[in-house]
Structure 1
Amino acid sequence: MKVLITGGAGFLGTRLAHTLLQAGTLRGETITQLMLADLVAPRDTVLTGDARVRHHAGDLLANIPTLMAEPWDAVFHLASAVSGECEANFDLGLHANLDTTRCLLDACRAQTLGGHRPPLFFFSSSVAVFGSDAAVPLPAVVRDDTLPTPQSSYGIHKFVCEQLVADYTRKDFIDGRAARLMTVSVRPGRPNGAASGFLSGLFREPLAGLPSTCPVDLDTRVALSSPANTVAGIVAVANASREDFGGRTALNLPALTVSVRDMLAALGDLAGPEVMGLITHVPDAAIAGIVAGWPSRFESVRAPRLGLVADTSFTAVLQQYVRDQPDAVGLPQARARLGLPPRA
């Protein structure tokens, strides 16, 4: 089994690569090669030191002819320009999201028409496909049959690509699976251009001893998923049979619904007042407007059929972050409360 991950040097791509390599198989077949394609080379030396791993750096659209010169058995398409970037730079969003996905799908189609079996094609979509339109208001609870009416360029791109994946699947060019990811929190590393980025930075920065601001009302409710639960969902969707996945429509991954106020309370209970003193409330109308348009409650009958459930609490999400990133907790008092040894 030869696997390609676009966005393979990013946070989710790196975590997915580790998960696949540790499993050793995908859909019952041994993984013999894993290609990580991204704008930059991966920095994870464990990955790059694995004999099964190759990597390719550069603009994905420009590099698709090179990447797809050999057939792939599975493609995980995670790469995209994020929400804030797409609003700020319309052309960038079209290039990175629509044009690149269409070109990648066509390369898979050519592979199939050339005699190779249709590759598994996982497309990383987003709950940004949902919004409130004047003619179709967003319901209080989003279900599997809720009509997507995206209200941002990013959401439009994701929904268009979902439909392309469905159609290429209908034509047997690919075995396509689209899953809508919730906001992933807590992400390590540096902030990105996503409107939802504060839902990681609001916790990551104070734990590191850095100031952070909350741009939305504290009673804003959001739908979240931890990194581990998100990757587990991706792998489950990829491994599912066509029948178990159920149709060609994108699947909503499970969500933990929680208010920002309760998220901050969980942080305070775990890490203490020293961390909380680094957080200030600085409203940002642009971010608040985007986030307010996203659904916060989901009910699905499809995801549980694949064994997928939401995270149990935001406390559990924070504990996962601390386990995964112990060196990212900088304040001595916070480290003591979290049971971490003093930093050298």
Structure 2
Amino acid sequence: MTIIVTGGAGFLGARLIAALLADGADRIVSLDRVACPVDDARVTSLIGSIDDPAAVAQAFQGGADIVYHLAAVLSGQSEQDFDTGLHINVDATRLILEECRKQARPPRFVFTSSLAVFGGEMPDIVPPTMVLMPQSSYGCGKAIGELLVSEYSRKGFVDGLTVRLPTICVRPGAPNSAASSFVSGIIREPVAGQASECPVPLDTRLWISSPGVAVDNLVRAGRIPADDLGLSRVMDMPGITATPAQMLDSLEKLVGAGARARVALTRDPRIEAIVCSWPGAFDVTRARALGFGADSDFDAILRQFLADR
């Protein structure tokens, strides 16, 4: 079985590749702008951009049974650079789908979308039938991508599944261009003894998943039989609802008051306009019935991060 992972050199992509290898994958192709950090003879690391037809064609040279499309321009950069955001998040997604269309057998196509496809007035718990109303360029691009995956699935070009991931927390490493980067930053930096800022109100509801659970759910998304998916090829992934205040309570309890004191509340209207338009809870009954998992609470997420450091 050959699996292609776009964005395979990134934090989530590299973890997914490691999990797929542990699950018995025969051959994995990573396509990213830098080399994949996973050192394994079964991994082919291609350095290139997902908007380059030659690079995409090279990734598919050995065929594809499953394609995980993770690569994207993140929310902050998409908002600042409209053209690049739509080009990578929409045009390049269609380029990859067209390459899938050339395959002898339609591959399973797992597209990672975002809760940023929602906006406007929403109920406390968002149902699976909620109308999309993105309030950011990133959310718009992801919504278009969802429709493309559903249409290519309807036509039989791919066996697609869009998974809307929660905000992943806690991400190691440096902050990135995502508007949600602070969600990890208000934990990661204080644990490392560094100052951090929370740019949104402390009572903002956030839909969160640990990296481990998110990766397990992505592996599951590649395996689940098409007959179990039915007509709808879009699914909100399970998560937990947590506010920055609750996250900081956990930080104080598990790390100490000194760590919490390193976080300053510094409102940023630009970040607030994006993040506060996102829903804070979802009805994930269907996903849970299909075997997708969730963390128990934020204490468990923080304990996982502390254990992995």
Residue 254 of structure 1 pairs with residue 232 of structure 2: no
Aligned to 2:13: 13
Q: Normalising by structure 1, report the TM-score.
A: 0.87
Q: Paired residue for 2:67, among 65, 75, 89? A: 75
Query: Can you list the C-alpha shifts for 1:225-277, whole angstroms capped at 9, x where unaligned?
Result: 11111111111122111122232331000120011101100000000122122
Query: Can you list the C-alpha shifts for 1:10-37, whole angstroms capped at 9, x where unaligned?
Result: 011011011110010xxxxxx2211111
Inter-partner Cα distance in structure 2 for 1:322 and 1:188: 10
Name the larger-Rg structure: 1
Inter-partner Cα distance in structure 2 for 1:279 and 1:139: 30
Inter-partner Cα distance in structure 2 for 1:146 and 1:264: 31
Q: Paired residue for 2:28, among 34, 55, 79? A: 34
Inter-partner Cα distance in structure 2 for 1:309 and 1:35: 26
8 A contact 1:237–1:245 mirrored in 2 = no
Query: Can you list the C-alpha shifts for 1:125-171, whole angstroms capped at 9, x where unaligned?
Result: 11111111xxxx32221011111111111111111111111111111
> Counterparts of 1:20-99 in structure 2 under 5 Å?
20-24=20-24, 31-42=25-36, 44=37, 47-48=38-39, 50-62=40-52, 63-99=55-91
Shift of 1:318: 0.4
Amino acid aligned to 1:33: R
8 A contact 2:112–2:165 mirrored in 1 = yes
8 A contact 2:5–2:31 mirrored in 1 = yes
Aligned to 1:279: 263
Structure 1 residue runs without a partner (length 5+):
25-30, 326-344
Query: Can you list the C-alpha shifts for 1:190-237, whole angstroms capped at 9, x where unaligned?
Result: 111001000001110111111101111111111101111111111112
Inter-partner Cα distance in structure 2 for 1:68 and 1:310: 33
Inter-partner Cα distance in structure 1 for 2:303 and 2:46: 34
Aligned to 1:119: 107
Inter-partner Cα distance in structure 2 for 1:246 and 1:210: 48
Inter-partner Cα distance in structure 2 for 1:318 and 1:246: 36
Residue 236 of structure 1 pairs with residue 228 of structure 2: no
Aligned to 2:180: 196
Shift of 1:308: 2.2
Aligned to 1:140: 124
Residue 205 of structure 1 pairs with residue 167 of structure 2: no
Structure 2 residue runs without a partner (length 5+):
none
8 A contact 1:236–1:306 mirrored in 2 = no
Inter-partner Cα distance in structure 2 for 1:278 and 1:174: 48
Secondary structure of 1:142's aligned partner: coil
Give % identity: 43
Secondary structure of 1:55's aligned partner: strand
Instruction: Spell out structure 1 runs of 4+ moving beyond 6 A.
Output: none
8 A contact 2:89–2:142 mirrored in 1 = yes
8 A contact 1:98–1:157 mirrored in 2 = yes
> Counterparts of 1:304-315 in structure 2 under 5 Å?
304-315=288-299
Residue 216 of structure 1 pairs with residue 208 of structure 2: no
Query: Can you list the C-alpha shifts for 1:275-322, whole angstroms capped at 9, x where unaligned?
Result: 122211111111112111000011122111122232111110000111
Shift of 1:72: 1.1
Amino acid aligned to 1:198: F
- Name which of structure 1's ranges 1-10 and 271-280 shifts more when overlaid on structure 2: 271-280
- Name which of structure 1's ranges 99-108 and 246-255 shifts more when overlaid on structure 2: 246-255
Inter-partner Cα distance in structure 1 for 2:231 and 2:224: 12
Inter-partner Cα distance in structure 1 for 2:146 and 2:230: 15
Residue 105 of structure 1 pairs with residue 97 of structure 2: yes
8 A contact 2:238–2:292 mirrored in 1 = yes
Inter-partner Cα distance in structure 2 for 1:245 and 1:208: 42
Count how many residue pairs are aligned between Structure 1 and Structure 2: 307
Secondary structure of 1:76's aligned partner: strand
Inter-partner Cα distance in structure 2 for 1:17 and 1:276: 34
Residue 131 of structure 1 pairs with residue 149 of structure 2: no
Q: Normalising by structure 2, report the TM-score.
A: 0.96
